[in-house]
Structure 1
Amino acid sequence: MNNTRILLSDKTIAQLPTPKDGWYLARDTELKGFFVVVGRRKRTFTVQGDLRQGGKRSSSIRVSIGDTRELTTRTARAMAKEYLAQISKGQHPKATKEVGHSGSVPVGNTVGATVTLRQAWQRYLVAHLIRKGRSEKTISGYRDHVERLFAEWLDTPLSELAMDPARVANKHDDLTKQNGPYIANGSMRTLRAIYNHARKTNRSLPRDNPADAIDWNEEKRRDTGMGISDLTEWFRELAALENPVRREFHLLTLLSGSRTTALQQVKPSHIDFHRRTLHIEKPKGGRKRAFDIPLSREMILCLIRTIRFGRQIYPLQSQKWVFPGDSASGHLAETKEDRGTLSKWGNDLRQTFRTVASAAGVSEFDAKLLMNHSIPGVNAGYVTRQKLLEDHLRGQQQAISTAVFSALGKSLTKDSDLGAWLGRWASCRAASRVQTKPDVPSNEQDRATSAHTRRG
């Protein structure tokens, strides 16, 4: 058959007649040098151009892009533009492959060209997130970005996004308007990570990450923590919460500076009253970052009250979780509160912990250790956290808790709600009513309870 010239598209390529023998070319009327080789068994996207050396034409080469059954015409056209640009600069697009006698290059592995966002996401999910023990919250955040915000791109080849960076930049602009600057930036960081991960096993993907095309929104660190003078009013708000388990949860979040997701999954077996520690089994970063939090007297009393309230309100769930709830998991699942009821919670309290730590004279280094932050610098790698835990860090933790409660001043005696919850005799009653833990000898827990209650 004779060669033909048409505007190549998925539809027009599908309508091309199959030759009885041999092959023919269907050249694109839009992009010079881009065509489809139509054979009896397959149809192949191809480009042809002149290699130039020193500004002079040295040879004409033909390079295969991929099978029309595996690539969309839009993707193939984008790749053709890249190939032709390289050829015009004297570079062979597939210089590492052996060139045939006709000057063409055999069709190579087109997996990189055809891998879709959905496929890349599934591999990233299993190989990078699940296998490395990332938290459910972290995985949920990535999934929301990919499966909700990028839903229309799930079956789009990554190479297509890479060859059309304006499309990605426009998407970032739209997300900024519709969802806000932080979510827009976060979703693009997810896309960037997935693309980089996919390219490790698909070297035919363009080196330029499509997320590099965007103009990142400015992000300012949220400063929502409280100072010492703000704590009294916050304690009054907290005392008014109806659910005592939630009340103690927010208090422990403040006293420990921990992430809420870590505290939600604390189990009774994680509390060691003898050593006065709380084990965080799965913090941010996974099990390899597991650590022990030293407990101050106020933190121990908080946990004692939590155990008592949990066993009264959630007798079944409290057997497994320190902060039980009605969720499917059995532990407290939603930790957000109405701002009109409780003005600060979650990360606000984590920032407050750092603020109070500074006011209490605790060094930034010790505060980071207590919060399980990564410590930059070579020397920090020689610090053995467990050696500091028993005495030094517990003393620093106590200094922070003391600073928090000192802010209440005489409110514990003047405010009836605060007194009923945190007053001296209220703590004694809470301690005396707590049931014996099944996995801790009663005399050991009694000693821990009575000792810390007297000093509380």
Structure 2
Amino acid sequence: MKSKITQSLVERAPAPERGKSSLYADSEMRGFYLIVTPTKRSFYVQSLVNGKQVRTKLGDHPAMDAKQARDAARKTLVDMRGGANPNEERRKARARGITLRGALDLHLAAKPLSQRTKDDYRYNCEQYLADWLDKPLAELGADRAAVRERHRKITEKHGAPSADSVFRVLRAVYNRGLREHPDLPPNPTTNVDYHGLRRRKVDVDAERLLAWGKVVLGLNPVRRDLHLFMILTGMRRTSVCEARASELDLGARRLHVPKPKGGAARAFDLPLSGPLADLLGHRLAENPKLHRKSPWLFPADSKSGHVAEVAQHELDGLTGHALRHTYATLALQAGVPIAELKFLLNHAAGNVTMGYLNPTLDHLRGYQEKASTYVLEALGLEWTEGQWPPRLATTPAEAASINECEVA
């Protein structure tokens, strides 16, 4: 309805029924409106902008009264008829206002990341880009030379791997901000020359593996089994250290991994071979003697209650992620196909065809058995079903010597 929009009208206009609204068009200023809903009274203007009808909100009552709204409407309508779109201007202002910290929060809230990954993102930003956290992304995007220079300085002070890691985080965070605010400048990390470090190669020659097998049997039983579990599964350090007894189903011969790399969205069940089932069964039986009522499969006298640090100087660097590399190499040599190996390692699909596949645990367990047999043999260890730990294998020469002694 048409009526002069006055303070009296704003205050006395009847509230409509729930779910409905009433529109009052000002009788003196074309394009100036009051819209009344059951909960709000808001001022709007509407006009043609470059041939298109555009409506924009001026404000709500009582924060804005009728006189203030009329003054704002007069100015805004003049600008709109001159070709300015206030909605676009607001959007650009929001884009200019989002900071690196805001984009980081947006990115972490939008993606199903594990807490560890979120902590890594925050660490990289707070440790290396602290002075940029409250800087608008628009400023970072406009100063591409400064972004490239920061990468160079981090490389110089902390090394190439750290620099590339920090800037991969910055690239992802800026891209998330750019999706939210398309008016931002292009991602400035495209001006960075990444070092492109190659994935570390792990030496798995026969002598080194045999030496590792001998040494690992002499470790503390919990750490012995932890390292053997890692080389027999290729599981990542955090997932192994945080494995709980409640996630183990020995009857079904599987271990549920609820929060691997990638968070809960990447949760999976690990099929257990015979040796793996015996290893974990042994831990269930022995752990209460060492750590009463511990929920962890690999308990320790640490703040967390489980093994947290897997470094072991006796094992000559073949620990942690190096064991994941070792497992993958040996499993492939054992005849495990690449497709099944990717599932056993819980790697992302990588292509459309892999995304279609959903093999059963029984199918994967057969290949896990094959891998376990090959790995234990490479380590020079013999496993007897139902027993743990394994023992050093007897070489042909040693067997012949034993036979000679028995004959004598």
TM-score of the superposition, structure 2-length normalised? Answer: 0.69
Cα separation, 2, equivalents of 1:420 and 1:289: 31
2:317: which partner in 1?
Answer: 343
AA aligned to 1:307 is L
Contact 1:237–1:342 (CA<8 Å) still a contact in 2?
no
1:70: which partner in 2?
Answer: none
3-state SS in 1 of match to 2:255 = strand
Deviates more, 1:322-331 or 1:172-181: 322-331
**Would the alpha carbon gap of residues 408 and 112 (structure 1) be closer, same or farther in structure 2, given more than 3 Å must change?**
closer
Cα separation, 2, equivalents of 1:182 and 1:354: 23
Instruction: Give the drift of 1:252.
Output: 0.5
2:270: which partner in 1?
Answer: 293
Instruction: Give the drift of 1:263.
Output: 1.8
Contact 1:360–1:400 (CA<8 Å) still a contact in 2?
yes
3-state SS in 2 of match to 1:293 = strand
Deviations 1:304-362 (A, max 9, x none): 2322342222213x2x2212233443332222334x55421111111111111122122
AA aligned to 1:300 is A
Deviations 1:206-235 (A, max 9, x none): 2x1011111111211111152444211112
2:400: which partner in 1?
Answer: none
2:130: which partner in 1?
Answer: 151
Cα separation, 2, equivalents of 1:146 and 1:378: 33
Cα separation, 2, equivalents of 1:102 and 1:290: 56
Instruction: Give the drift of 1:167.
Output: 0.5
**Would the alpha carbon gap of residues 395 and 303 (structure 1) be closer, same or farther in structure 2, given more than 3 Å must change?**
same
3-state SS in 2 of match to 1:200 = helix
Q: 2:98 aligns with which of 90, 95, 115?
A: 115
Deviations 1:120-167 (A, max 9, x none): 222222233xxx1x2222122111110101112112111111110110
Deviates more, 1:144-153 or 1:134-143: 134-143
2:71: which partner in 1?
Answer: none
Cα separation, 2, equivalents of 1:369 and 1:102: 61
Runs of 4+ in 1 over 4 A off after TM superposition: 97-107
Contact 1:225–1:349 (CA<8 Å) still a contact in 2?
no
AA aligned to 1:127 is A
Instruction: Give the drift of 1:113.
Output: 0.9
1:93: which partner in 2?
Answer: none
3-state SS in 2 of match to 1:356 = helix
1:276: which partner in 2?
Answer: 253
**Would the alpha carbon gap of residues 161 and 379 (structure 1) be closer, same or farther in structure 2, given more than 3 Å must change?**
closer
2:57: which partner in 1?
Answer: none
**Would the alpha carbon gap of residues 104 and 287 (structure 1) be closer, same or farther in structure 2, given more than 3 Å must change?**
closer
User: Aligned pair 1:383/2:383, yes or no?
Assistant: no
Instruction: Give the drift of 1:104.
Output: 7.2
Q: Give the CA RMSD over aligned residues.
A: 2.7
Q: 2:326 aligns with which of 352, 362, 383?
A: 352
Instruction: Give the drift of 1:420.
Output: 9.8
3-state SS in 2 of match to 1:279 = strand
Q: 1:249 aligns with which of 214, 223, 226?
A: 226
2:306: which partner in 1?
Answer: 331
Contact 1:256–1:371 (CA<8 Å) still a contact in 2?
yes
Cα separation, 2, equivalents of 1:380 and 1:151: 40
Cα separation, 2, equivalents of 1:378 and 1:105: 43
Q: 1:394 aligns with which of 339, 355, 365?
A: 365
User: Aligned pair 1:407/2:384, yes or no?
Assistant: no
1:39: which partner in 2?
Answer: none
**Would the alpha carbon gap of residues 125 and 333 (structure 1) be closer, same or farther in structure 2, given more than 3 Å must change?**
same
Q: 1:308 aligns with which of 285, 288, 296?
A: 285
Cα separation, 1, equivalents of 2:98 and 2:78: 24
Contact 1:135–1:282 (CA<8 Å) still a contact in 2?
yes
Contact 1:226–1:348 (CA<8 Å) still a contact in 2?
no
AA aligned to 1:186 is S
Deviations 1:407-433 (A, max 9, x none): 344x779xxxxx995239xxxxxxxxx
Cα separation, 2, equivalents of 1:401 and 1:227: 17
AA aligned to 1:277 is R
Contact 1:276–1:295 (CA<8 Å) still a contact in 2?
yes
Instruction: Give the drift of 1:299.
Output: 0.9
Question: Superposed, which structure 2 residues align to 1:213-252 within 5 Å?
Answer: 213-241=191-219, 243-252=220-229
Q: 1:198 aligns with which of 153, 177, 185?
A: 177
Deviations 1:72-93 (A, max 9, x none): xxxxxxxxxxxxxxxxxxxxxx
Cα separation, 1, equivalents of 2:191 and 2:133: 19
2:55: which partner in 1?
Answer: none
Gaps of 5+ in 2: 1-76, 393-408
TM-score of the superposition, structure 1-length normalised? Answer: 0.62
